[in-house]
Chain A
């Protein structure tokens, strides 16, 4: 197994950046997801690691060895494609044996190795079929087997579940996770599905517009997004973000009379970062709000989504003066709670869950490290995050 290091790796298509210079270290045995909307450069990054795409600049190290200019076949890396890329004219067995035959391994060894991975993935009964006869899930299992059989240094997976239907995706996701835990193989996994990324990863690399937005554990990107993009992209719906103005110990929101108290640990960082106009963007997750008759936030119920285990309220805090568009925040409530559309409500926001962003750069403003009194430890939060994902 291997460590993968990217140093200022970039990719240009013509004049345009497909991937802006990025640094990333993927540790031995780690499962890292590259997550982002389509066209953000995540697949290009993966293909550069594999060598299917050459980097326009920077260095790629594999176990400390510079492989930037190595041919894909000299990198000892396995790649699982979104559309399986099985050889259609060969049987499942020959597909799995292909990488070993290409190496010129002798027949007996090939048989042992093939039956090994076939047992792991439980695909023994389909060995003599052609891939075209198999379901999407089984084809992807065969593709995984073909990757596993080589015992490569690392696995690269390009949306391997993207072509499967929802139910099968969940099954296969669990299988991939179990496989990773059993093999403890360094894995880089590309997906646009944040649920998948949250469920599988040790760390997530959030990408957008050819740039890395944040690298962190699932809990970190969920609770402490580095910027407004990550705040909005992670979670469904994303983090609520409201434009406000700092006024002493409270933040006043524009266009309505709502205020939120400023958590003490943010006081100094905000004062040192913000401009003279004191404009700031406040973010909080839907589950951070609690309906409370004494709450400092007030709004009108705009819509109610029943999600089974909980309800999601769309609350209008008041129309924006210029555009007359509603200012919507999402709140998560008990499934039994009754908040009919059009009714007024008041709510509070857990100060531990409040985040602040600089309106100019969109970057998160970090709390002062000295005062952690009202901050929950991340470990506790991380279990919650998995429950939600």
Chain B
């Protein structure tokens, strides 16, 4: 490049700078900071403020400053047998819902995997429960479970007044059955979210190339052997993602319960998230205590997620 050209280029750059007024860096900052501010205000600040509150005695409706109490809230929660019962209920609920959703979802995915007449329509129909609002689902399942006129009892052919089960009250023939109401709520959760597992499993299944099955047929593998050695390992990563999402959601389970039982009868369907809501926003507004509980739930969810993610990473490294 000659000296004249160099000069011309430099002056050109300077001209451009003057015209634009703002440097690249200034523009970058202009784009990033509003978003960052929003994130700090709406996410980071509540996160850390609630962490602080979890170490204090504080109620959002009492006109008193938070009082530092150290680990007392955590100690309270972890030594309270009632809380352990809620955790156990939540664990049972998560195990049953996620387990059934995985089994049924994967089974449905296997069924609609092959193209047949109307398979697209059927797949869409199966997906509908997932698209509904959980509160609406809760409300109309409350009607479905109604012991007097509900469709559920009609389906299981138990409609004799006085003898029919009242699922949400947890009784059959007016006699309490342990955990019946919990399983009733779990059934709705399974109904609603099985399609989600099916969707992910289906996309996993469709991604398996046909030639693997052709090779397996040539290798004289039976259908069961093909399923065990090809289908299952190939679909496992996506299935695990579905399980991870559903597990997290189960530990946050709140909306369906509130729509149907509100935690009852007694505390049979009192999931941990329902109890958290009760502590934070009902009665005494025990904000400090509730914050501590929220952090315990957060730690549990992170721990479970970590297990899954490690498993997933393991799969990826191998693959």
Contacts and interface: CB of A to CB of B under 8 A. Distances in A.
Interface of A: 50, 52, 71-73, 76-79, 81, 83, 85-90, 98-99, 101-103, 130, 132, 146, 150
B78 interface: no
B229 interface: yes
A76 B220 CA distance: 8
B229 A73 contact: no
Interface string B259-296: 00000000000000000000000000000000000000
Given A88-B319, A132-B319, A102 B214 contact: no
A366 to B, nearest CB: 41
Contacts of B209: 85
Given A98-B216, A150-B220, 20 more contacts: A50-B218, A52-B218, A72-B218, A73-B218, A76-B220, A77-B218, A79-B215, A81-B211, A81-B214, A85-B211, A85-B214, A85-B215, A87-B229, A88-B319, A89-B318, A98-B219, A98-B221, A101-B229, A102-B216, A130-B318
B225 A52 contact: no
Contact of B219 (A52, A83, A88, A99): A99
A84 B214 CA distance: 11
6 contacts: A50-B218, A73-B219, A73-B221, A98-B221, A99-B220, A130-B319
A308 to B, nearest CB: 39
Interface of B: 209, 211-212, 214-222, 225, 229-230, 233-234, 318-319
Contacts of A101: 225, 229
A98 B211 CA distance: 15
B218 A78 contact: yes
Contacts of B214: 52, 72, 79, 81, 85
Given A98-B229, A102-B222, A130-B319, A85 B217 contact: no
3 smallest CB-CB distances across A and B, nearest first, come from A99-B219, A102-B221, A73-B220
Nearest to B219: A99
Nearest to B319: A89
Contacts of B218: 50, 52, 72-73, 77-79
Contact of B211 (A83, A89, A132): A83
Nearest to B232: A89
Contacts of A146: 215, 219
Contact of A52 (B217, B220, B234): B217
Contacts of A90: 229, 233
A87 B45 CA distance: 49
Contacts of A98: 216, 219, 221, 229
Nearest to A78: B218
B212 A85 contact: yes
B317 to A, nearest CB: 10
B312 to A, nearest CB: 13
A251 B225 CA distance: 67
Contacts of B215: 79, 81, 85-87, 146
A83 to B, nearest CB: 7
Contacts of A86: 215
Contacts of A77: 218
Contacts of A72: 214, 217-218
A50 B220 CA distance: 12
A103 B233 CA distance: 20
A81 B216 CA distance: 12
A87 B230 contact: yes
Of A52, A77, A86, A101, most buried by chain B (CB within 10 Å of CB) is: A52
Nearest to B234: A89
Nearest to A50: B218
Contacts of B319: 88-89, 130, 132
Contacts of A79: 214-215, 218
B286 to A, nearest CB: 50
A102 B234 contact: no
A77 B217 CA distance: 10
Contact of B217 (A71, A83, A88, A130): A71
